[in-house]
Structure 1
Amino acid sequence: MSYNRSDETLNGLPVDNPWIQMNATEEEFERSYSSPRRDNNSVYLTPENRYGSRDRLYGTPSPQRRSYSPSPDRYYYSPSHETRRLPQIPKLSPFDDKEEEEEEPTYRKREDPFVADRPGYEYNFEPDAESDRTFVPFPNLNNSYYPINTPKDYFDPFDYRYDDSHEEEDIERDDYSESGASVTSARQVRMVNGNLVLDCPVSDVLLSKYTTPLSEKDREFLFMRFQACTCEPAEFAYRNFSLRQCFYSQPRSTEMMVVITMYNENEILLARTLKGVFKNIRHLYSMQHSSTWGQDAWQKVVVCVVSDGRTKINPKSKALLGALGVYQEGFAKNKVNDDKVVSHIYEYTTMVGISKVEHDHVKLTTENQIPIQMIFCLKETNQKKINSHAWAFEAFGPILRPNVVVLLDVGTEPEGKALYKLWKAFKDPRVAGACGEIKASLGRNCRLLLNPLVAAQNFEYKISNILDKPMESVFGFVTVLPGAFSAYRYQALLGAPLQKYLKGEDLKRSNDGGIFNANMYLAEDRILCFELVAKQNCEWLLKYVSSAAAHTDVPEQLHDFISQRRRWLNGSFFAAIYSLFHFYKVWHTSHSFGRKVMLHIQFLYQFINLLVSWFSLGSYFLVFRILTVYLAEPEADFAPGNILSVFFLWLYLASIVTTFVLSFGNKPKGTKRFYLIIVTFFAILMVYMIFAAVFMAVKSIQTIIKDHSNDFSVKLIFTETKFRDLIVATTSTYALYFIGSFIFLDPCHMFTSFVQYLLLSPAYINVLNIYAFCNIHDISWGTKGDDLRNDLGEAKVTKNAQDGELEIVIPTTKTQIDVAYRKIMNELTTTTMEVEAKVNQEEEDAFYFAFIRSMTVLVWMITNFIIIALVTEAGGLYQFTPDDSSSTDYLPATRISVFLTVILWIVAFMALFRFIGCCAYLISKLVDRIKLRKFRREYQTKGASFAV
């Protein structure tokens, strides 16, 4: 057809749309060639010229045109072979025929000396060592054409020159050396729907690494899309911002959106997470018999990285994203027409994978890689993790409309099939959210188990995944789906759950919600879980998927561990109170009566668990005092018992007082040695308590045998109160740990981490709880230091510009873009000194929060002291009770017996309750598997194929 500017529409869009005017395809109209007004070195050229298109589109070319010669910096698949032979998939069989290999198309390649000289960061042309060697992807491309927007007069779809004749002159004039700072030029840019949206050509240094031939229609690989967003997440769609998936020649539907939240983590942690995600997408691609996944799986998954604060991001993490092609330097601006930019959004589909992540560097590969659709949202200011999720749920979610949203933290590496197994859980239409097992990363050859702190956390994670989460999954309410590795049905989030979840976003601006809500939203994932299950007129359930696993780094230093658990404990404590006070919402749901009763049983269990946690400090002291005093009694016949009892008592009290003082006035990072000494003392104390418990058990059995030498029976052992209440209850709790671990066929942690957890358990109860409660005023919104900004410049309308045009300083030439890409790669190999920003602690109502903190700690200490006094008759209480004990007793026997009976059997019952839940979980899995096999047999008998 011939082009006519009077036509009202073209492809359903108005002609005056700047994208249509500048980017209409050659099949749709043609016009006479006229030399554009631009620099010869501009890279804003039509991609048809550069990636093997027809050499002559309009017959005889203009005399001003010179023949196109492909750049030697890239792989180039000869266009003359396109019509005769399709690209052959290389055979990986050891019996390959050499003659067939010679017939395969050859590629011209030139190694980039910049990359070759830097062993710390390199492209590895060997396949991933952990990948399937028989897997050679050849994705279906040629369907990613979309209209692009580039600077005015620097993009002409009818100019087929790629002229680098003035490159040396440009370098000399603009100083494009790697050490120079001038890598941009001022250009006129058309606004798209009133917004700054640019399509930026990708560097030849990156494109030269691709082994898959690209055509002129594969624009998602040739251009990176940049948007300067000047609105909040909820207004993203209303302000006419969008994403590339909507503009492809074949618009794509998104089945899964993977959201990775990042703050200031280094490139090693980011690379681990991305490697795990890429491996999962690769698995989805290999599922050729699936009704949902298969060859087009990569088009149904979008990986979104949201970084919290432009000045907070680790430079090497940003450089890694740049190496993948999803980030380019020089395009971000502070303002657009005097509107402040809230976030900088980059979109690109990369075919660069991560082959290996080592201790100090990352290796990339382009061999056997499938495309990955990526979005990088770099927020201008640091506004907390909830705000990062707001960008995913409120900005990108309404555009992509994913079925499942997977949440990951940087540093969490999902296993090869974890995302698929999480997604599969949503085949049940009642499931609103699911989580898998989070495993502690133990390093190469599990060397981190030598660190007692890591081993203790490994045991804690394992027991939670064996007893806690399976039990909660049976009831349908998993109290917390960890934000580090969980998935949600996007449709279930809409409405009240998402509004309640994002309510914490408003608390950073005002303190109207008070300190309760501030601490509650430190565990915002717990609030979201409750709101999903309690959603009005719905019957959503939460599920635990034991077969889906991810590895995450755990704190290796004590001060980092204390700071992390402060947020966890305070958030979970206040979130538990919230769910207990709002349990009545369950009756407004559509759950069955039986399910509502089960949920109330679970709420009762949570209430008992909350009480035990509240009194844990006093309870532990009582157990300590009972055991040590027993060894001090004459009947124990343990000579040093009396001295050790007093010695440990004074050290215990000194440690508690010191912990309170440090918690009120110091940060753990500044008092590392004090906390290390205290934790070490509690570990030694635990050894003595274990010895005392064993000693008591032996003495009790000996006494019974001596007193009942003629009528002894095993039943008599359980009539001795101290032995029954202390030894039996505690031993049964640990025995259930062993049994549950063996039932789940995962008992290794019981032999490698149980002892370390046992020794550190006093520190869990005393140090962590004290520090957490003493710092409930510290809500850690993470909005400090936002005034430190680099000036990125502005994009604004100038006097000489036409309507809808901005003047902006950006990279526009091939040299500028290539130099910028080389700088990004160089950033990864350059050792930089991390400079800590000055902390500016300005919080409203600081005195109010400190007062509430003091009152809470005071009430907590008083109530725990009361229970100690009631049991031990301390503080003069003995005057009001009859003297029914012998004068030789150090502690009242009756009260001690009652206390041990109540507290220790409650603990044993809670362990049994969780054990029953995990058994029910395994039984339900077995029943589902039997039903699935029966269902598959019925399909096979009917001659139909069955695929999930």
Structure 2
Amino acid sequence: MPAYPPSGQGHQGYQDPFSDRHSPRPPHGNPLNASDPRLVYGQAPSAQTPSQQQQRPSGYALHDKPSYATSMQTLPTGSSYSLAGGKEFYDDGVYPDEDTESKTPLRSEFGVGHGVQGGYDPDQPLYAPGGYSPHPAGSYSAQSAYSQGSRLLSRKETSAEAWKQRQRINPKRAQTKKVKLTQGNYIVEHPVPTAVRNANLSSGSRGGPTEFSHLRYTAATCDPNDFTAENGYSLRASSYGRETDLLVCITAYNENKILLARTLHGLMLNIRDMCKGKWSEFRKKAERGGVEGGKQGEAWKRIVVCLVFDGIDPADKNTLDVLATIGVYQDGIMQKSVDGKETVAHIFEYTSQLSVSPKPALVEPHPNDPNNLVPVQMIFCLKQKNAKKINSHRWLFNAIGRHLKPDVVCLLDAGTKPGKRSIYYLWEAFYHDKHLGGAAGEIHVMLGKGGRKLLNPLIAAQNFEYKMSNVLDKPTESAFGYVAVLPGAFSAYRFTAIQGRPLNQYFHGDGTLAARLGPKGTDGMTIWMKNMFLAEDRILCFELVAKANESWVLGYVKPAKGETDAPETAAELIGQRRRWLNGSFAAGVYSLVHFGRYYKSNHGILRLFFLHIQAIYNTINLIMSWFAVANYYLTFSIIITIVGTSLRSPNDIAGGDPDTIKCWSGSFLQDDSGNSFDWLGLVNWLFQVIYLMFLALQVILALGNRPKAEKLTYTISIAVFAFFSLYLIFCTVILTIKAFCPIGSILAKNSGSSINVFLGSTYGPIFAGIAGTFGVYILSSLLYLEPWHLLHSMPQFLLIAPSFTNILNIYAFCNLHDVSWGTKGSDKVDTLPAAQSKKDGEEKVVETHEKVQEDIDLGFKATVLRAVEPFVEEEEVVTPTMDDRNKTFRTRFICVWLFMNACLALAITRLGSSARSRYFQAILWTTFGLSSIRLMGMLWFLVGEWVFRAARFCARGRR
């Protein structure tokens, strides 16, 4: 065991990192950067035994500001970073964002990062808390410690199997705890790691009695609708009597820890700005107690963050390490059932000032630093089984929301990074507009450092699509008062506005309610209705605006920005858009069919007038999207045919205008006699044939093959349609130049009346087509003051656009039947213990094992290491199944068959009339010959049959 300096030497008033007692602040300022080797995370200068440490008081005087020495000393030295180093940014409203903050990577007890200025001494052996050391004292150096840490962080350590092992508590090293059931509900508080507790207390924030020292766990064994106070359930924020102005929900499925950290850390920065900025109306509202004279208090107490994970099985277990690092989750405390009732959701509650950035690196508070994160009330709802996103929202709105009764609910998907002040801008929109029922911000594609992702044409095309939607579609719909979709990835709703029919209709798509709803649930829905609920957020938007006796509107908040990843491969894009396209089409039809519901609302005459205009606009858009495949092919076919015939025979141009003929004449393709071979006409014809063949290929692929099993085929298809788009653009440019060539002479003939020329000739449609696409794109982007996507993304979009129509639409409609409902079982819950109560006097109690504080802290060290381990994304290897291979063979076979038949048919149609006649005659003679052979074969068979019967008859006569 290492020898520490005797009493009176070293730092005076040194605080044991695992002690519950306060001590004077060390003279060196920040203890995390002190030179004393004892301050390294994992060392325990006290030689006390675990039993002696257990006798110490476990409570804190939470309303007394703790000394600096109680901060996160127990974390690795140099593991944290201060947000902007203490400059008073809030005085002038200037804030550091995540990318400009000073950061120091997390160091571990294994010596990771010991070169950073701080307290690590390589000559001092490492020591575990509570007097327990896994190695003999002094048996390894810093280098061997680092190697040991690397070995501990193997893939096996962060796997699902390792997670299952961590759910088991060794009874020999645990203490027995009796948990009193509340109306049969298992609700218990567990101490958090000492490091987490000390860090959250270091800033002096005032909280509830156990808000910073204990994690609250509830095993919810009920449906979300039954998670009520009457049934014995409660949440910390409501039990403290706090009013909730803003509830932010992050929904997750199987996202990795970097995606979760990106969203959660961005949200923490947003909340800090809202609560500390002198410009923040949210802060001012909290200080004066709200508009209606509510309770005064700190702004952070009016915000709650809720994380809902859709099932234990699909959840990435590394994300649980991130949550455990900030204190909102612990291994080994979940119960899979309570008295035989299966747990539906595991609910954890904790208030934390810690965060993990996407680097990943730990962010912790520092005393007297004005740029510290503020405490954030967190609720982590981990559903036991996968039940889809709409069920996650039912836990949010019908369970958690009913307890907190927030003013505004903001929705985020894990992976969406909220921009600077974006959450504030969304809240502010509701604060200033009492009729606003829902709002969405701008979602843009994550382009990577230096925009390197733009090198991928699919990313660039999606970026342009997103930008133009934010520039044209969302502002237009916001002006009408009805935004067709507020994406669940980044949107907000007024909680009171969506109560009643909007949420009831929305939750009809929850498969877990099928038995309760009967014919109105998913089991009684037609395939069309099920597709409609693939875009359930569109249903919620329509029901909100059409709510009876109300006048809610939806809006678009331009300064609120969120950044999200976009699919980088064709297979991923096709899979994503299938649900979007089918759902949006069905929901669009639903909103038009039920348009009469608007008449039951309280919207004024002017608003109803604009809603009628919008309905007409949406109807036309719906018709255009229905015929998009045919219209694109016709546009391609007509334009390349016009250009080819006009260049070859200018004298045959309709109208015979000399100036027009002159403009088209003079090319090397011109042949008025018609004697030379029309090679351009042949090329155009072949292009049309290939175009139709690839369209047919999309139908064949969509009807039976998985996109992930046909990556190469889809990539080739996108490349082919991109080439056709490039050729179409080239022909369009030629057509436009040639068409406007004689405009001067035509205007002169019409006495300069340009309006008559444009409206009464072919120039009008050409001009309208150019202005309606390129002109609107350019002008709107310039007016929006964001024109850069025109330069780096528009060319790629023009090439990929045909694939959006021909590949994505065909795949979506061919898989209209593909709707997944219901829940998927979890094999991970078998590892969790079951809570069984027994009588203890008049009360029911559950005896459970709880780790001692030393073991909690020791396990926390490994958790931090896993949380901040550099993330290496594993590329998904898709191995074709036997079914995939069979379908691939079928697809290839059908393609060859159709291709050969199509080639023959098209080749014959290109022949002259005499050649076609000879071919037809050959077919007839061949048919006659084949039939003759069959007739002769039949006659031969009959002769043989007659001879056989005659012979048998004669044989019988001789007997």
Same fold (TM > 0.5): yes
Find the counterpart in structure 1 of residue 69 from structure 2.
107
Match of 2:407 in 1: 403
Q: Give the 5 Å matches for 1:528-567.
A: 528-567=540-579
Counterparts of 1:337 and 1:281 in 2: how far apart (Å)?
A: 40
Distance 1:351 1:536 in 2: 43
2:169 is matched with 183
Summarize the Cα distance change of 1:548–1:109 in structure 2 as closer, same or farther, 3 Å threshold.
closer
C-alpha offsets along residues 220-243 of structure 1, whole Å, 9 cap, x if unaligned? 010000000000100000421110
CA distance, structure 2, for counterparts of residue 467 and residue 802 of structure 1: 68
Q: Give distance in 2, aligned partners of 1:70 and 1:287.
A: 42
SS at match of 2:169: coil
Match of 1:234 in 2: 225
Match of 1:5 in 2: none
What secondary structure, in the 3-state scheme, does the structure 2 residue paired with 1:309 have?
Answer: coil
Tell me the distance in 2 between the aligned counterparts of 1:540 and 1:804.
Answer: 49
Most deviating of 773-782 and 656-665 = 773-782
Q: What amino acid does structure 2 have at the position aligned with 1:642?
A: G
User: Displacement, 1:480?
Assistant: 0.8
Instruction: Note closer, same or farther for the CA distance 1:719–1:243 as it changes in structure 2 (3 Å cut).
Output: closer
Match for residue 679 of structure 1 among 718, 728, 741: 718
Match of 1:606 among 596, 613, 618: 618
Report SS of the residue matched to 1:405.
Answer: strand
For residue 124 of structure 1, what is the aligned residue in structure 2? 80
- Specify which of 419, 426, 449 is matched with residue 422 of structure 1: 426
The aligned counterpart of 1:626 is 638
Aligned equivalent of 2:342, options 335, 340, 343: 340
The counterpart of 2:238, out of the listed 232, 246, 266, is 246
Give the TM-score normalised by structure 2: 0.69
- The whole-number CA distance in structure 2 between the counterparts of 1:704 and 1:415 is 50
Measure, in 2, the Cα distance between the counterparts of 1:579 and 1:696. 40
In the TM superposition, what whole-angstrom CA distance separates every residue of 1:84-134 from its partner, at most 9, and x where no partner exists? Answer: xx78xxxxxxxxxxxxxxxxx662778558x46xxxxx8323325999756
Q: Which residue of 2 aligns with 1:586?
A: 598
In structure 1, distance between residues paired with 2:878 and 2:747: 72
* Structure 2: segments with no counterpart, 5+ residues: 1-17, 25-47, 94-127, 137-151, 288-296, 367-371, 515-521, 651-666, 670-677, 882-908, 910-959
Structure number with bigger Rg: 2
Q: Check 1:292–1:110 CA distance in 2 against 1; reply closer, same or farther (3 A cut).
A: closer
Cα pair 1:74 1:109 within 8 Å, conserved: no
Q: 2:795 aligns with which of 748, 752, 755?
A: 755
- What amino acid does structure 2 have at the position aligned with 1:573? F
Aligned to 1:883: none
Structure 1 pair 465–827 and aligned structure 2 pair: CA distance change class (3 A): same
Q: For residue 357 of structure 1, what is the amino acid of its counterpart?
A: P
Partner of 1:365: 364
Shift of 1:684: 0.7
CA distance in 2, matches of 1:787, 1:698: 66
Cα distance in structure 2, aligned partners of 1:418 and 1:609: 31
CA distance in 1, matches of 2:849, 2:217: 12
Q: Does 1:374 align with 2:378?
A: yes
CA drift at 1:835: 11
Deviation, structure 1 residue 548: 1.4
1:149 aligns to what? none
Q: Could you tell me whether the CA contact under 8 Å between 1:418 and 1:548 is conserved in 2? A: yes
Question: How much does 1:52 deviate?
Answer: 4.3
Displacement of 1:782: 7.2
Note the C-alpha offset of 1:833: 9.5
| Equivalent position amino acid for 2:250 in 1 | I
- What per-residue deviation string (whole Å, max 9, x for no partner) do you get for residues 184-225 of structure 1? 435432112321001010111323444325789652010000
* C-alpha separation in 2, matches of 1:308 and 1:617: 37
| Matching residue of 1:24 | none
1:187–1:805 CA distance, 2 compared to 1 (3 A) = farther
- For 2:769 and 2:188, the matched residues in 1 are separated by 67
Aligned length: 722
Report the alpha carbon displacement of residue 443 of structure 1 after superposing the two structures with TM. Answer: 1.4
Which range moved further: 775-784 or 387-396?
775-784
1:699 aligned to which of 717, 738, 746: 738
Structure 1 residues 554, 166: CA separation in 2 closer, same or farther (over 3 Å shift)?
closer
Deviation at 1:822, TM superposition (A): 2.7
- In structure 1, the partner of 2:266 is 276
Equivalent-residue separation in structure 1 for 2:780 and 2:872 (angstroms): 47
Instruction: Flag the 1:374–1:78 CA change in 2: closer, same or farther, 3 A.
Output: closer
Q: Cα–Cα, structure 1 residues 340 and 169, in superposed 2: closer, same or farther, change >3 Å?
A: same
Q: Select which of 245, 269, 272 maps to 1:255.
A: 245
C-alpha separation in 2, matches of 1:711 and 1:166: 98
User: How far did 1:75 drift?
Assistant: 15
Q: Which residue is equivalent to 1:321?
A: 323
Residue identity matched to 1:524: E
- Which residue matches 2:20? 50
Alignment CA distance shift 1:110-1:353 (3 Å): closer
Q: Is the CA contact 2:258–2:871 (under 8 Å) kept in the aligned structure 1? A: no
The percent of aligned pairs where both chains have the same amino acid is 36
Q: Which residue of 1 aligns with 2:285?
A: 292
- CA-to-partner distance for each residue in 1:810-860, whole Å, 9 max, x for gaps? 433112322332332233338799799999x9xxxxxxxxxxxxxxxxxxx
Deviation string 1:766-793 (CA, Å, 9 cap, x unpaired) is: 1010011011111133734545643212
Contact 1:434/1:545 (CA < 8 Å) preserved in 2? yes
**Alpha-carbon distance between aligned partners in 2 of 1:824 and 1:192, rounded to the nearest angstrom:** 31
1:543, distance to aligned residue in structure 2 (A): 1.2
Structure 1 residues 337-391: Cα deviation after superposition (integer angstroms, max 9, x where no partner): 000000000000011134x423xx3443334221011000000010011000000
Greater alpha carbon shift after TM alignment, 730-739 vs 378-387: 730-739
**SS of the residue 1:548 aligns to:** strand
Answer whether contact 1:273 1:410 (CA < 8 A) is retained: yes
- In the alignment, is residue 651 of structure 1 matched against residue 703 of structure 2? no
Secondary structure at 1:777's aligned position in 2?
coil
* Residue 480 (structure 1) aligns with: 485
1:438-453 pair list within 5 angstroms? 438-453=443-458
Q: Distance in 1 between matches of 2:358 and 2:624?
A: 43
1:298-341 Cα offsets, whole Å, 9 max, x none, are 10000000000011111111111111100000111111000000
Instruction: Give the equivalent residue in structure 2 for 1:42.
Output: none
AA paired with 1:538?
E
**Residues 828-839 of structure 1 correspond to what in structure 2 (within 5 A)?**
828=867, 829=869
Separation of aligned partners in 2, 1:627 and 1:727: 15
Instruction: Quote the residue 1:222 is aligned against.
Output: 213
Amino acid at match of 1:232: D
**For 1:137-192, what per-residue CA distance to the aligned partner results, in whole angstroms no more than 9, with x for missing partners?**
9xxxxxxxxxxxxxxxxxxxxxxxxxx998659999xxxx9998663435432112
In 2: Cα distance, 1:628 partner to 1:515 partner: 40
Aligned to 2:195: 205
In structure 1, distance between residues paired with 2:731 and 2:306: 55
Paired letter, 1:766: N
The Cα RMSD (Å) is 4.0
- 2:190 and 2:825 mapped to 1: Cα distance? 31
Change (3 A) 1:646 1:837: closer
